[in-house]
Structure 1
């Protein structure tokens, strides 16, 4: 230890013995910090500057003039005027040709073009066969690799932001046009047109309300399917002791649940699967009746209990069928459903009602047999035959229901599901929120029971959203209808002018997402600080290994009395470790004091840098001391892999499997994890686990440096002599 200390102190004295060496040390210390500060500052808060993104807007709208309205209406101009007051993006108003060419050249990030027939198609909103207006949207994805991502939440969010802005603007404009009609309300034709408009809004509100009710029925059917599966599997379990789990039965039922249609169709598929499971349970029970009654003489108590358990599960199935019956009854009450659908529902209701009666009879027979067995007055032969007959009838009835459902009703319900989705797609935010709510059901729920419960919950929440939007529209049309019926045209004008903004907002985004940050980080620069701090520290360690000698001169060895190899190895590392600590202190200290990088645990933030520097410097020192130039190449290879594989920027889940497989074996991975915990907060000791994983790199490095390095000395001498003989390659 004394020799190691003397070597370390001597290295410190020699490296600070002249101005040139001091300047080199200063350079080694500050380079990682400059690297870090420059990149963290550059990425500090790019999302606050999205208003600098240029969006071109070209308005070619020719306007609209009707014989009923003595004024020309140009809705495109109204859209442009609204956008002029919107500072979320840098709207640049130009011609169509310049907008498209500018987007191609990179002058504009994107462009929107309002076509010539925009007002004309917008005005079809008042007609019974109204059509949608369209706006062309051009997006330059070549301009910059990160350009689609730099706008807050990426190109998709920019599109959504533009869509919502336009949606609210267009809806407000459409309703404002109705307000303009109020100036012409003295003319009968204008009043008729306004009445038509109010009727269209009323129909749309009624459609939303009907869709809400239908969604609730689908939700009830889904829950009924879940209960039926549970009771069916319970019956099979009592019969054979080998029931399949509900999750296995419906493993595929939740596949494809990516939108509202997927959720609805999963519910209808689940009901079909539940009916199959139910029929199978009665078939299994019928086959097991003989064995149960065969034990009645020797194991009367067990037989009676088994019969009562079966009766309980059958009663649960009867309750599930009653829920299905009630749901079908509610669905058939919807007069807007096609007659063929309602007839199919009524036919199925009749069969379900018959099955409910049979199941109740079967449950009563089972309970009666159990009571007779306990009282030892059982005519087992007759009761056995009666129960088998009832079970067979139940299985046949359920199979018939399943066949009728699959062939007649399920295709109709799937069509209804598609039409409901079409209705909700008209509300921009609803569709987007549903996809987010449903997109991960397949991956995050482990059983069909949870899948069906989650789907039912989503359907109920969607129904609430649609009902809320329908209620708002209904209130508007009700107020407008009262004003029209009163004949007071000033009241009509007040209704139209007062409600356009709120009604437009309701149509544009009926659902709002409440975001709750877990371990919040106040800015993007702090989020990227681990990546931009750890990699420069690795680069700094490589620079040390390249700049400083990893061997001890003969003169120094002689002065120390020819120390042993392990003393030379450990003692000479001391200067590398000191410079590494100076690097991390300078870099991380500056990030905290000058850049004000967030750190919930400042001391642990510094500690993560100190430990990382020591491990990194020992890593590169050992490689170069043991393998020479080959060790330097290995250090560069690790740098390359850690840029993408250390989980510093892109999530490992979106990278190729080979990258995520390598990641745990990269030192920077654990350094970044520890630093993130210090910045955002520690959860379940994740910081200390990461530090521990980082320190696990030390033992194998000691093995290489203290044992394997010695046999490689002759090889390194031969390798160096060969390189020097070329007179070109530095050894």
Structure 2
């Protein structure tokens, strides 16, 4: 590294002690500045000098005169008059043939020709079958690439001016019509027509006022309806509460009906089951009595026990009947309806008879058991008596069962079905009552809002009709004054006497307000990033062409040598110094001489320094690694960067492969950094662009220190071959 610095110092000393070296280096430093400065100055404000572009205008408009109004209108002449006061382009008024031929010969950059039917088309555009008028526009695209776009912009402005003149002409024609009418007021026919017009206007005003009165009536009617709606709302609320109470009562009735149905069903089921079971049970008692008395001789004591057991069994049956009868009387009797009262009483009386017969059977069995224990019983008589008691009990039970099955149970079943239907009806009525209550309570507020809205609408309609009636009254008074005095000034005031304001409103309903973001001083300032990047690249390329990249024999002291890496880094020193001088001069000159007015002057100088450092390293390394081919490669890279860096045209409007290669070009990031320094930094974009630019140093150093070694012998042989041609 020490030998490399020694080489840098020797190169610097040789370049400053030799006159020719000083002249060459001064030229290398000046060329990038001259390239950048004069290109920026040339593009400083090209659109501000468009007045030097000659554009021919030919008017062949024949004008227009309506059959109704005897006034001739020639909008083409008014457009020509407006162009005479326009300095955006150098307008030349000439004939149609001269305009077209001058455009073909290059005397004019473009030509505008107004057709003969120009005014006719514009004044009849509203009629059925009307056509939009067209201006013939001829442009010479061979003469200059940018001039057709500029002249087309001028032609668009002409179209805008013509539209404005057309709007102003309409206002002027209206006033001329009124003026011409004032001259005709003394004619009897005109007086009669104006009188009829005055009467019609007055009648319209009266109708409008009548309509306003009707609207006021509707407003008053709506206002009086509000208390009625409020009262209805209160009534609906009270009705809702009453309906709710009724619903609660019905719901209670439904619960009672369901309870009655359940009670009757349970009691009837218990009673029916008891009656059915008793009949089968007493058949078994009768059979057991026969068995007891058949075996009486053998087992008297055992038979007495069996009879006592039958008596106890009958007592159990009696107890069940008593409980069933008491339960029915206690639970069913209070709930039974009158229609089933007789059947219920019949069943109860039959139950009482069955209970009494069963008690008699129990007593007879107990008496028979006592006789059996004392052995003093008449077996046949006792048997027949017991069987007779059983038969009486069974008959009484059967009678109670028949009364229940034929009288009480059908009526209880019918009552259960009726109660079920009532339950369903109660549920339906409750739902209907709930819906009705919700509807009555929820719609009043909406109705009041609609009434308020309707009241506001009718009031607004009344005001509008009254205002329109006032206007027609004013027009009627103006017509009356015009008839009496023959002066149309009052009528003019009623209609409007400011055609200029009308024309401005029609032609320019919207005004565009431009708000610049990151504003630049001029078009040349906006082009500075591209020309500064190209100037620094051209300077780096010229330095690699004018300054040797190798160390010739004899340039070092006797016995001193340098390695290839020391030669590479040491010789680059003079290139870096030249690039530093180039970037310093060109950036300071842009600020002080060209007056670009960057937002951040020091950042502009820093961007120029970093760009020059990277550019000189790239071109120097290409020449070191590839020889003359490296110079050609640097020129090729320059060609790509002219369009691919995005300095002139947005990358989005270029062919797709330009946006694809743009991130891999060092000029792209140099342009971004310089543009941020001139217009303003946003979210660190300046430093990001410089960072990407500095990253190009990494692959270039890799090429200079490592990848170029295999090419060194090839480049030496190639150089000898070129020198042997005595031409290269």
Normalised TM-score (structure 1) = 0.57
Partner of 2:689: 690
Partner of 1:29: 29
Alignment partners' CA distance in 1, 2:125 and 2:610: 67
CA 666–131 in structure 1, closer or farther in 2 if over 3 Å, else same:
closer
Partner of 1:326: none
Asked whether the 8 Å contact 2:36–2:532 carries over to 1, the reply is yes
Asked whether the 8 Å contact 2:110–2:148 carries over to 1, the reply is no
Alignment partners' CA distance in 2, 1:510 and 1:719: 73
Q: Indicate whether 1:526 and 2:525 are aligned.
A: yes
SS in 1 for 2:4: helix
What are the equivalent positions in structure 2 for 1:209-288 lying under 5 Å apart? none
Any gaps of 5 or more consecutive residues in structure 2?
A: 198-467
CA 118–558 in structure 1, closer or farther in 2 if over 3 Å, else same:
same
Superposed displacement of residue 98, structure 1:
1.2
Alignment partners' CA distance in 2, 1:600 and 1:698: 28
Alignment partners' CA distance in 2, 1:12 and 1:108: 57
Superposed displacement of residue 83, structure 1:
2.3
Q: Indicate whether 1:490 and 2:489 are aligned.
A: yes
CA 665–65 in structure 1, closer or farther in 2 if over 3 Å, else same:
closer
Structure 1 residues 695-704 or 601-610, which shifts more?
Answer: 695-704
SS in 2 for 1:554: coil
* Superimposed CA distance per residue, residues 538-571 of structure 1 (whole angstroms, 9 cap, x where no aligned partner): 0111111111100001212444711222111111
What are the equivalent positions in structure 2 for 1:459-498 lying under 5 Å apart? 485=479, 487=482, 489-493=488-492, 498=497
SS in 2 for 1:694: helix
Alignment partners' CA distance in 2, 1:127 and 1:480: 32
Alignment partners' CA distance in 1, 2:476 and 2:623: 88
CA 501–629 in structure 1, closer or farther in 2 if over 3 Å, else same:
same
Asked whether the 8 Å contact 1:41–1:595 carries over to 2, the reply is yes
Superposed displacement of residue 492, structure 1:
4.2
SS in 2 for 1:581: helix
Partner of 1:207: none
What are the equivalent positions in structure 2 for 1:43-82 lying under 5 Å apart? 43-65=43-65, 69=69, 72-82=72-82
What are the equivalent positions in structure 2 for 1:6-155 lying under 5 Å apart? 6-65=6-65, 69=69, 72-124=72-124, 132-150=132-150, 155=152
Superposed displacement of residue 163, structure 1:
2.0
Note the aligned Cα RMSD (angstroms): 3.0
Alignment partners' CA distance in 2, 1:140 and 1:480: 58
Superposed displacement of residue 88, structure 1:
2.9
Alignment partners' CA distance in 2, 1:560 and 1:524: 59
Q: Indicate whether 1:512 and 2:508 are aligned.
A: no
Alignment partners' CA distance in 2, 1:556 and 1:43: 46
Partner of 1:309: none
Partner of 1:173: 169
Superposed displacement of residue 14, structure 1:
1.1
Superposed displacement of residue 504, structure 1:
1.9
Superposed displacement of residue 112, structure 1:
2.2
Superposed displacement of residue 65, structure 1:
4.6
CA 492–58 in structure 1, closer or farther in 2 if over 3 Å, else same:
farther
Superposed displacement of residue 139, structure 1:
3.4
CA 640–134 in structure 1, closer or farther in 2 if over 3 Å, else same:
closer
Superposed displacement of residue 497, structure 1:
7.8
CA 723–27 in structure 1, closer or farther in 2 if over 3 Å, else same:
same
* Superimposed CA distance per residue, residues 491-535 of structure 1 (whole angstroms, 9 cap, x where no aligned partner): 344577843222222222322232222111121010000101110
Alignment partners' CA distance in 1, 2:120 and 2:491: 24
Alignment partners' CA distance in 1, 2:472 and 2:704: 85
Asked whether the 8 Å contact 2:614–2:697 carries over to 1, the reply is yes
Alignment partners' CA distance in 2, 1:139 and 1:102: 10
CA 711–66 in structure 1, closer or farther in 2 if over 3 Å, else same:
closer
Q: Indicate whether 1:670 and 2:669 are aligned.
A: yes
Asked whether the 8 Å contact 2:625–2:704 carries over to 1, the reply is yes
Partner of 1:651: 650
CA 515–6 in structure 1, closer or farther in 2 if over 3 Å, else same:
same
* Superimposed CA distance per residue, residues 431-482 of structure 1 (whole angstroms, 9 cap, x where no aligned partner): xxxxxxxxxxxxxxxxxxxxxxxxxxxxxxxxxxxxxxxxxxx9xx999967
* Superimposed CA distance per residue, residues 392-443 of structure 1 (whole angstroms, 9 cap, x where no aligned partner): xxxxxxxxxxxxxxxxxxxxxxxxxxxxxxxxxxxxxxxxxxxxxxxxxxxx
Structure 1 residues 58-67 or 160-169, which shifts more?
Answer: 58-67
Asked whether the 8 Å contact 1:184–1:190 carries over to 2, the reply is no
SS in 1 for 2:498: helix
Superposed displacement of residue 129, structure 1:
7.5
Alignment partners' CA distance in 1, 2:124 and 2:165: 17
* Superimposed CA distance per residue, residues 188-223 of structure 1 (whole angstroms, 9 cap, x where no aligned partner): 899999x99xxxxxxxxxxxxxxxxxxxxxxxxxxx
Alignment partners' CA distance in 1, 2:176 and 2:530: 57
Superposed displacement of residue 24, structure 1:
0.6
Asked whether the 8 Å contact 1:61–1:119 carries over to 2, the reply is yes
SS in 1 for 2:677: helix
Any gaps of 5 or more consecutive residues in structure 1?
A: 197-473
Alignment partners' CA distance in 1, 2:707 and 2:473: 88
Alignment partners' CA distance in 2, 1:674 and 1:697: 15
Superposed displacement of residue 176, structure 1:
1.3
Asked whether the 8 Å contact 1:40–1:528 carries over to 2, the reply is yes
Asked whether the 8 Å contact 1:179–1:497 carries over to 2, the reply is no
* Superimposed CA distance per residue, residues 104-158 of structure 1 (whole angstroms, 9 cap, x where no aligned partner): 333333322222233344443697886654433333333311124447xxx4x44
Asked whether the 8 Å contact 1:179–1:496 carries over to 2, the reply is no
Alignment partners' CA distance in 2, 1:510 and 1:650: 33
Alignment partners' CA distance in 1, 2:637 and 2:38: 23
Partner of 1:726: 725
Alignment partners' CA distance in 1, 2:126 and 2:646: 54
Q: Indicate whether 1:714 and 2:713 are aligned.
A: yes
Asked whether the 8 Å contact 2:79–2:161 carries over to 1, the reply is no
What are the equivalent positions in structure 2 for 1:251-400 lying under 5 Å apart? none
Structure 1 residues 126-135 or 662-671, which shifts more?
Answer: 126-135
Alignment partners' CA distance in 1, 2:641 and 2:582: 19
Superposed displacement of residue 601, structure 1:
0.6
SS in 1 for 2:92: strand
Partner of 1:187: 184
Asked whether the 8 Å contact 1:176–1:497 carries over to 2, the reply is no
Partner of 1:556: 555
Partner of 1:607: 606
Partner of 1:572: 571
